[in-house]
Structure 1
Protein backbone atom coordinates (compact mmCIF):
# COMPACT_ATOMS: atom_id res chain seq x y z
CA UNK A 1 0.00 0.00 0.00
CA UNK A 2 1.37 3.39 -0.98
CA UNK A 3 1.87 5.68 2.05
CA UNK A 4 -0.44 8.67 2.18
CA UNK A 5 1.13 12.01 1.34
CA UNK A 6 1.50 14.68 4.07
CA UNK A 7 -1.20 16.76 2.38
CA UNK A 8 -3.65 13.85 2.45
CA UNK A 9 -2.88 13.18 6.12
CA UNK A 10 -3.39 16.84 6.92
CA UNK A 11 -6.77 16.86 5.17
CA UNK A 12 -7.86 13.75 7.07
CA UNK A 13 -6.84 15.36 10.36
CA UNK A 14 -8.76 18.51 9.46
CA UNK A 15 -11.90 16.54 8.66
CA UNK A 16 -11.67 14.52 11.87
CA UNK A 17 -11.24 17.68 13.93
CA UNK A 18 -14.24 19.30 12.27
CA UNK A 19 -16.42 16.24 12.87
CA UNK A 20 -15.44 16.35 16.55
CA UNK A 21 -16.36 20.03 16.80
CA UNK A 22 -19.67 19.53 15.00
CA UNK A 23 -20.56 16.60 17.24
CA UNK A 24 -19.75 18.64 20.34
CA UNK A 25 -22.05 21.48 19.31
CA UNK A 26 -24.87 19.10 18.46
CA UNK A 27 -24.67 17.05 21.65
CA UNK A 28 -24.24 19.96 24.07
CA UNK A 29 -27.17 21.76 22.44
CA UNK A 30 -29.31 18.62 22.78
CA UNK A 31 -28.19 17.06 26.05
CA UNK A 32 -26.42 19.84 27.96
CA UNK A 33 -22.78 20.26 28.92
CA UNK A 34 -22.68 18.04 32.00
CA UNK A 35 -24.50 15.15 30.36
CA UNK A 36 -22.26 15.14 27.28
CA UNK A 37 -19.12 13.01 27.63
CA UNK A 38 -16.02 12.86 25.48
CA UNK A 39 -17.00 9.28 24.67
CA UNK A 40 -20.39 10.48 23.42
CA UNK A 41 -18.66 13.06 21.24
CA UNK A 42 -16.23 10.51 19.81
CA UNK A 43 -19.08 8.12 18.98
CA UNK A 44 -21.13 10.85 17.31
CA UNK A 45 -18.10 12.04 15.32
CA UNK A 46 -17.16 8.51 14.29
CA UNK A 47 -13.62 8.71 15.69
CA UNK A 48 -11.63 6.95 18.38
CA UNK A 49 -12.01 8.32 21.92
CA UNK A 50 -8.27 8.92 22.10
CA UNK A 51 -8.37 11.17 19.04
CA UNK A 52 -10.64 13.62 20.86
CA UNK A 53 -8.12 13.93 23.68
CA UNK A 54 -5.28 14.20 21.15
CA UNK A 55 -6.81 17.36 19.67
CA UNK A 56 -8.33 18.83 22.83
CA UNK A 57 -7.05 18.66 26.44
CA UNK A 58 -10.54 18.68 27.93
CA UNK A 59 -14.25 19.20 27.42
CA UNK A 60 -14.14 22.89 28.27
CA UNK A 61 -11.56 23.61 25.56
CA UNK A 62 -13.51 21.46 23.14
CA UNK A 63 -16.76 23.32 23.80
CA UNK A 64 -15.16 26.71 23.35
CA UNK A 65 -13.55 25.64 20.08
CA UNK A 66 -16.87 24.19 18.85
CA UNK A 67 -18.81 27.37 19.60
CA UNK A 68 -16.10 29.64 18.18
CA UNK A 69 -16.14 27.55 15.00
CA UNK A 70 -19.91 27.88 14.79
CA UNK A 71 -19.66 31.64 15.29
CA UNK A 72 -16.87 31.94 12.72
CA UNK A 73 -18.83 30.01 10.11
CA UNK A 74 -22.00 32.03 10.75
CA UNK A 75 -20.10 35.31 10.60
CA UNK A 76 -18.20 34.37 7.45
CA UNK A 77 -21.42 33.33 5.76
CA UNK A 78 -23.15 36.56 6.73
CA UNK A 79 -20.31 38.76 5.52
CA UNK A 80 -19.95 37.02 2.17
CA UNK A 81 -23.57 36.29 1.31
CA UNK A 82 -25.15 37.73 -1.82
CA UNK A 83 -25.31 40.50 -2.66
CA UNK A 84 -21.62 40.76 -1.83
CA UNK A 85 -20.59 44.10 -0.40
CA UNK A 86 -17.45 45.94 0.62
CA UNK A 87 -19.44 48.62 2.45
CA UNK A 88 -18.10 48.78 5.99
CA UNK A 89 -21.39 49.79 7.61
CA UNK A 90 -23.32 46.97 5.95
CA UNK A 91 -20.66 44.44 6.93
CA UNK A 92 -20.77 45.60 10.56
CA UNK A 93 -24.58 45.34 10.54
CA UNK A 94 -24.32 41.79 9.18
CA UNK A 95 -21.78 40.90 11.87
CA UNK A 96 -24.00 42.16 14.69
CA UNK A 97 -27.02 40.33 13.28
CA UNK A 98 -25.05 37.10 12.87
CA UNK A 99 -23.91 36.98 16.50
CA UNK A 100 -27.24 38.08 17.98
CA UNK A 101 -29.00 35.60 15.71
CA UNK A 102 -27.01 32.73 17.20
CA UNK A 103 -28.09 33.74 20.70
CA UNK A 104 -31.72 33.52 19.59
CA UNK A 105 -31.38 30.35 17.49
CA UNK A 106 -28.98 28.33 19.68
CA UNK A 107 -29.74 29.54 23.21
CA UNK A 108 -28.68 26.41 25.11
CA UNK A 109 -25.34 26.20 23.36
CA UNK A 110 -24.57 29.92 23.61
CA UNK A 111 -25.69 30.09 27.26
CA UNK A 112 -23.44 27.15 28.10
CA UNK A 113 -20.53 28.75 26.25
CA UNK A 114 -20.90 32.03 28.13
CA UNK A 115 -21.14 30.20 31.47
CA UNK A 116 -17.97 28.22 30.75
CA UNK A 117 -15.85 31.21 29.76
CA UNK A 118 -16.98 33.10 32.87
CA UNK A 119 -15.57 30.40 35.13
CA UNK A 120 -12.23 30.80 36.88
CA UNK A 121 -10.21 29.21 34.06
CA UNK A 122 -11.70 31.77 31.71
CA UNK A 123 -11.24 32.30 28.02
CA UNK A 124 -9.26 29.79 25.95
CA UNK A 125 -7.34 30.84 22.85
CA UNK A 126 -7.72 28.38 19.98
CA UNK A 127 -7.53 28.20 16.21
CA UNK A 128 -11.27 28.75 15.82
CA UNK A 129 -11.25 31.76 18.14
CA UNK A 130 -8.39 33.32 16.16
CA UNK A 131 -10.34 32.94 12.92
CA UNK A 132 -13.37 34.57 14.50
CA UNK A 133 -11.23 37.40 15.88
CA UNK A 134 -9.66 38.01 12.47
CA UNK A 135 -13.07 38.40 10.85
CA UNK A 136 -14.29 40.80 13.53
CA UNK A 137 -11.08 42.84 13.39
CA UNK A 138 -11.38 43.04 9.61
CA UNK A 139 -15.00 44.17 9.97
CA UNK A 140 -13.99 46.94 12.38
CA UNK A 141 -11.21 48.03 10.03
CA UNK A 142 -13.50 48.13 7.00
CA UNK A 143 -16.01 50.13 9.02
CA UNK A 144 -13.35 52.83 9.17
CA UNK A 145 -11.99 52.55 12.69
CA UNK A 146 -8.97 54.82 13.25
CA UNK A 147 -7.77 52.48 16.02
CA UNK A 148 -8.66 48.83 15.43
CA UNK A 149 -6.66 47.73 18.46
CA UNK A 150 -9.01 49.78 20.64
CA UNK A 151 -12.29 49.38 18.77
CA UNK A 152 -12.18 45.64 18.10
CA UNK A 153 -12.09 44.66 21.81
CA UNK A 154 -14.91 47.14 22.46
CA UNK A 155 -17.10 45.61 19.74
CA UNK A 156 -16.33 42.13 21.08
CA UNK A 157 -17.31 43.22 24.59
CA UNK A 158 -20.52 44.85 23.40
CA UNK A 159 -21.52 41.74 21.45
CA UNK A 160 -20.78 39.50 24.43
CA UNK A 161 -22.84 41.75 26.67
CA UNK A 162 -25.73 41.71 24.22
CA UNK A 163 -25.60 37.91 23.99
CA UNK A 164 -25.70 37.63 27.79
CA UNK A 165 -28.65 40.02 27.90
CA UNK A 166 -30.58 37.96 25.33
CA UNK A 167 -29.89 34.74 27.26
CA UNK A 168 -30.31 35.97 30.84
CA UNK A 169 -32.66 33.49 32.55
CA UNK A 170 -35.75 35.13 33.96
CA UNK A 171 -35.03 38.61 32.60
CA UNK A 172 -33.99 38.42 28.95
CA UNK A 173 -33.76 41.60 26.88
CA UNK A 174 -35.58 41.60 23.52
CA UNK A 175 -33.13 41.04 20.70
CA UNK A 176 -34.65 43.88 18.65
CA UNK A 177 -34.00 46.38 21.44
CA UNK A 178 -30.39 45.29 21.84
CA UNK A 179 -29.90 45.39 18.08
CA UNK A 180 -31.34 48.89 17.94
CA UNK A 181 -28.99 50.09 20.68
CA UNK A 182 -25.93 48.64 18.94
CA UNK A 183 -27.00 50.02 15.57
CA UNK A 184 -27.57 53.44 17.13
CA UNK A 185 -24.13 53.37 18.74
CA UNK A 186 -22.44 52.70 15.42
CA UNK A 187 -24.72 54.87 13.31
CA UNK A 188 -26.11 51.96 11.30
CA UNK A 189 -29.42 52.09 9.46
CA UNK A 190 -32.08 49.77 10.87
CA UNK A 191 -32.65 48.38 7.36
CA UNK A 192 -29.04 47.20 7.11
CA UNK A 193 -28.07 43.59 7.74
CA UNK A 194 -31.07 41.36 8.41
CA UNK A 195 -33.63 43.50 10.26
CA UNK A 196 -36.18 41.62 12.36
CA UNK A 197 -39.86 41.93 11.59
CA UNK A 198 -41.82 44.77 13.09
CA UNK A 199 -39.42 47.66 12.59
CA UNK A 200 -37.33 49.37 15.27
CA UNK A 201 -38.62 49.40 18.86
CA UNK A 202 -40.61 52.39 20.04
CA UNK A 203 -38.42 55.39 20.72
CA UNK A 204 -35.57 54.18 18.51
CA UNK A 205 -34.69 55.80 15.16
Structure 2
Protein backbone atom coordinates (compact mmCIF):
# COMPACT_ATOMS: atom_id res chain seq x y z
CA UNK A 1 0.00 0.00 0.00
CA UNK A 2 1.40 3.39 -0.97
CA UNK A 3 2.04 5.92 1.83
CA UNK A 4 -0.53 8.65 2.42
CA UNK A 5 0.16 12.00 0.80
CA UNK A 6 1.03 15.06 2.87
CA UNK A 7 -2.39 16.57 2.13
CA UNK A 8 -4.19 13.46 3.36
CA UNK A 9 -2.12 13.42 6.55
CA UNK A 10 -2.88 17.09 7.11
CA UNK A 11 -6.61 16.49 6.70
CA UNK A 12 -6.49 13.58 9.17
CA UNK A 13 -4.70 15.78 11.70
CA UNK A 14 -7.27 18.53 11.20
CA UNK A 15 -10.14 16.11 11.79
CA UNK A 16 -8.51 14.70 14.90
CA UNK A 17 -8.06 18.17 16.33
CA UNK A 18 -11.67 19.07 15.49
CA UNK A 19 -12.94 15.96 17.28
CA UNK A 20 -10.90 16.83 20.36
CA UNK A 21 -12.25 20.39 20.44
CA UNK A 22 -15.84 19.24 20.01
CA UNK A 23 -15.42 16.62 22.73
CA UNK A 24 -14.03 19.30 25.04
CA UNK A 25 -17.09 21.51 24.57
CA UNK A 26 -19.50 18.60 25.02
CA UNK A 27 -17.88 17.26 28.17
CA UNK A 28 -17.36 20.58 29.92
CA UNK A 29 -20.99 21.43 29.23
CA UNK A 30 -22.02 18.10 30.79
CA UNK A 31 -19.59 17.90 33.72
CA UNK A 32 -18.06 21.33 34.20
CA UNK A 33 -14.42 22.27 33.66
CA UNK A 34 -13.09 20.72 36.87
CA UNK A 35 -15.08 17.54 36.30
CA UNK A 36 -13.54 16.95 32.86
CA UNK A 37 -10.14 15.36 32.37
CA UNK A 38 -7.90 15.18 29.34
CA UNK A 39 -8.35 11.41 29.38
CA UNK A 40 -12.14 11.90 29.25
CA UNK A 41 -11.77 14.19 26.25
CA UNK A 42 -9.51 11.78 24.39
CA UNK A 43 -11.89 8.89 25.06
CA UNK A 44 -14.94 10.87 23.89
CA UNK A 45 -13.10 11.93 20.72
CA UNK A 46 -11.90 8.38 20.04
CA UNK A 47 -8.30 9.60 20.03
CA UNK A 48 -5.11 8.32 21.57
CA UNK A 49 -4.41 10.14 24.83
CA UNK A 50 -0.95 11.14 23.64
CA UNK A 51 -2.57 13.04 20.79
CA UNK A 52 -4.01 15.57 23.22
CA UNK A 53 -0.60 16.73 24.40
CA UNK A 54 0.60 16.78 20.78
CA UNK A 55 -1.93 19.52 19.96
CA UNK A 56 -2.35 21.33 23.28
CA UNK A 57 -0.06 22.11 26.24
CA UNK A 58 -2.85 21.63 28.79
CA UNK A 59 -6.57 21.42 29.52
CA UNK A 60 -7.10 25.15 29.99
CA UNK A 61 -5.51 26.00 26.62
CA UNK A 62 -7.49 23.23 24.94
CA UNK A 63 -10.73 24.45 26.48
CA UNK A 64 -10.18 28.06 25.43
CA UNK A 65 -9.46 26.94 21.88
CA UNK A 66 -12.64 24.84 21.91
CA UNK A 67 -14.80 27.75 23.11
CA UNK A 68 -13.22 30.19 20.65
CA UNK A 69 -14.00 27.69 17.90
CA UNK A 70 -17.64 27.54 19.01
CA UNK A 71 -17.76 31.34 19.16
CA UNK A 72 -16.28 32.01 15.74
CA UNK A 73 -18.47 29.37 14.10
CA UNK A 74 -21.59 30.76 15.75
CA UNK A 75 -20.62 34.30 14.77
CA UNK A 76 -19.87 33.35 11.17
CA UNK A 77 -23.20 31.53 10.88
CA UNK A 78 -25.03 34.62 12.18
CA UNK A 79 -23.23 36.96 9.79
CA UNK A 80 -23.99 34.70 6.82
CA UNK A 81 -27.56 33.85 7.81
CA UNK A 82 -30.29 34.25 5.20
CA UNK A 83 -31.35 36.73 4.11
CA UNK A 84 -27.77 37.77 3.48
CA UNK A 85 -27.02 41.44 3.98
CA UNK A 86 -24.30 43.99 3.28
CA UNK A 87 -25.76 46.41 5.82
CA UNK A 88 -22.93 46.96 8.29
CA UNK A 89 -25.29 48.04 11.06
CA UNK A 90 -27.31 44.85 10.74
CA UNK A 91 -24.13 42.76 10.69
CA UNK A 92 -22.97 44.35 13.94
CA UNK A 93 -26.40 43.70 15.47
CA UNK A 94 -26.13 40.05 14.42
CA UNK A 95 -22.65 39.81 15.93
CA UNK A 96 -23.81 41.20 19.28
CA UNK A 97 -26.80 38.86 19.39
CA UNK A 98 -24.66 35.87 18.45
CA UNK A 99 -22.23 36.39 21.33
CA UNK A 100 -24.91 37.18 23.89
CA UNK A 101 -26.96 34.23 22.64
CA UNK A 102 -24.06 31.88 23.32
CA UNK A 103 -23.97 33.17 26.88
CA UNK A 104 -27.65 32.38 27.37
CA UNK A 105 -27.54 28.96 25.74
CA UNK A 106 -24.15 27.80 27.07
CA UNK A 107 -23.74 29.40 30.53
CA UNK A 108 -21.53 26.61 31.91
CA UNK A 109 -19.11 26.92 29.00
CA UNK A 110 -19.03 30.69 28.98
CA UNK A 111 -18.60 30.99 32.77
CA UNK A 112 -15.67 28.58 32.70
CA UNK A 113 -14.23 30.40 29.69
CA UNK A 114 -14.38 33.79 31.37
CA UNK A 115 -12.87 32.37 34.56
CA UNK A 116 -9.94 31.02 32.53
CA UNK A 117 -9.34 34.34 30.81
CA UNK A 118 -8.97 36.02 34.20
CA UNK A 119 -6.25 33.59 35.20
CA UNK A 120 -2.56 34.16 34.53
CA UNK A 121 -2.48 32.91 30.93
CA UNK A 122 -5.31 35.19 29.78
CA UNK A 123 -6.24 34.77 26.14
CA UNK A 124 -4.85 31.71 24.43
CA UNK A 125 -3.40 32.89 21.12
CA UNK A 126 -4.61 30.12 18.81
CA UNK A 127 -6.09 29.93 15.33
CA UNK A 128 -9.65 29.81 16.71
CA UNK A 129 -9.15 32.97 18.77
CA UNK A 130 -7.53 34.71 15.81
CA UNK A 131 -10.44 33.80 13.53
CA UNK A 132 -12.92 35.17 16.07
CA UNK A 133 -10.93 38.41 16.28
CA UNK A 134 -10.80 38.67 12.47
CA UNK A 135 -14.58 38.27 12.17
CA UNK A 136 -15.29 40.91 14.80
CA UNK A 137 -12.77 43.31 13.31
CA UNK A 138 -14.18 42.79 9.80
CA UNK A 139 -17.64 43.47 11.19
CA UNK A 140 -16.47 46.81 12.59
CA UNK A 141 -14.98 47.69 9.19
CA UNK A 142 -18.29 46.89 7.46
CA UNK A 143 -20.16 48.84 10.15
CA UNK A 144 -18.25 51.86 8.90
CA UNK A 145 -15.91 52.58 11.78
CA UNK A 146 -13.59 55.52 11.21
CA UNK A 147 -11.08 54.14 13.72
CA UNK A 148 -11.16 50.35 13.76
CA UNK A 149 -8.08 50.13 15.98
CA UNK A 150 -10.08 51.92 18.68
CA UNK A 151 -13.58 50.63 17.98
CA UNK A 152 -12.79 46.93 17.65
CA UNK A 153 -11.16 46.61 21.12
CA UNK A 154 -14.01 48.69 22.54
CA UNK A 155 -16.62 46.38 21.01
CA UNK A 156 -14.79 43.34 22.36
CA UNK A 157 -14.52 44.85 25.83
CA UNK A 158 -18.18 45.90 25.92
CA UNK A 159 -19.37 42.47 24.82
CA UNK A 160 -17.13 40.73 27.35
CA UNK A 161 -18.51 43.04 30.03
CA UNK A 162 -22.06 42.12 29.02
CA UNK A 163 -21.21 38.42 29.15
CA UNK A 164 -19.79 38.82 32.66
CA UNK A 165 -22.87 40.76 33.73
CA UNK A 166 -25.24 38.06 32.47
CA UNK A 167 -23.28 35.26 34.15
CA UNK A 168 -22.57 36.93 37.50
CA UNK A 169 -23.92 34.49 40.13
CA UNK A 170 -26.71 35.96 42.19
CA UNK A 171 -26.57 39.37 40.54
CA UNK A 172 -26.82 38.74 36.81
CA UNK A 173 -28.38 41.42 34.64
CA UNK A 174 -31.11 40.67 32.07
CA UNK A 175 -29.84 40.03 28.56
CA UNK A 176 -32.45 42.37 27.07
CA UNK A 177 -31.21 45.36 29.08
CA UNK A 178 -27.58 44.72 28.21
CA UNK A 179 -28.35 44.19 24.56
CA UNK A 180 -30.35 47.40 24.42
CA UNK A 181 -27.38 49.28 25.90
CA UNK A 182 -25.03 47.85 23.28
CA UNK A 183 -27.44 48.64 20.46
CA UNK A 184 -27.80 52.19 21.71
CA UNK A 185 -24.03 52.61 22.10
CA UNK A 186 -23.46 51.75 18.43
CA UNK A 187 -26.59 53.40 17.06
CA UNK A 188 -28.22 50.16 15.93
CA UNK A 189 -31.88 49.88 15.02
CA UNK A 190 -33.53 47.49 17.51
CA UNK A 191 -35.59 46.16 14.60
CA UNK A 192 -32.44 44.40 13.38
CA UNK A 193 -31.93 42.19 16.34
CA UNK A 194 -32.65 38.48 16.42
CA UNK A 195 -33.40 37.43 20.01
CA UNK A 196 -31.27 34.42 20.97
CA UNK A 197 -33.21 31.31 20.10
CA UNK A 198 -35.78 33.30 18.13
CA UNK A 199 -36.34 34.38 14.57
CA UNK A 200 -34.93 37.61 13.17
CA UNK A 201 -37.26 40.49 13.93
CA UNK A 202 -36.77 42.93 11.08
CA UNK A 203 -39.26 45.74 10.75
CA UNK A 204 -40.47 46.58 7.28
CA UNK A 205 -39.92 50.14 6.05
Using the size of structure 1 for normalisation, the TM-score is 0.94
* Structure 2: tracts of 5 or more residues without a match: 199-205
Give CA deviations for 1:70-98 in whole Å, capped at 9, x if unaligned: 00000000000100111100000000000
2 CA distance for matches of 1:195 and 1:39?
A: 37
Aligned residue in 2 for 1:94: 94
Task: Report the aligned-residue RMSD.
Answer: 1.0
Aligned residue in 2 for 1:26: 26
Aligned residue in 2 for 1:182: 182
Give CA deviations for 1:109-132 in whole Å, capped at 9, x if unaligned: 000000011012222111100000
Give CA deviations for 1:169-198 in whole Å, capped at 9, x if unaligned: 00010000000000000111111030468x
* Structure 1: tracts of 5 or more residues without a match: 198-205
Aligned residue in 1 for 2:10: 10
| Paired residue secondary structure (2:163) | helix
Answer whether contact 1:91 1:193 (CA < 8 A) is retained: no
Using the size of structure 2 for normalisation, the TM-score is 0.94
After superposition, residues 41-120 of structure 1 pair within 5 angstroms as: 41-120=41-120
Structure 1 segments (4+ residues) deviating >2 Å: none
Aligned residue in 2 for 1:202: none
Question: Number of residue pairs matched?
Answer: 197
Answer whether contact 1:68 1:132 (CA < 8 A) is retained: yes
Give CA deviations for 1:33-59 in whole Å, capped at 9, x if unaligned: 111000000000010001011000000
1 CA distance for matches of 2:105 and 2:21?
A: 18
2 CA distance for matches of 1:119 and 1:110?
A: 15
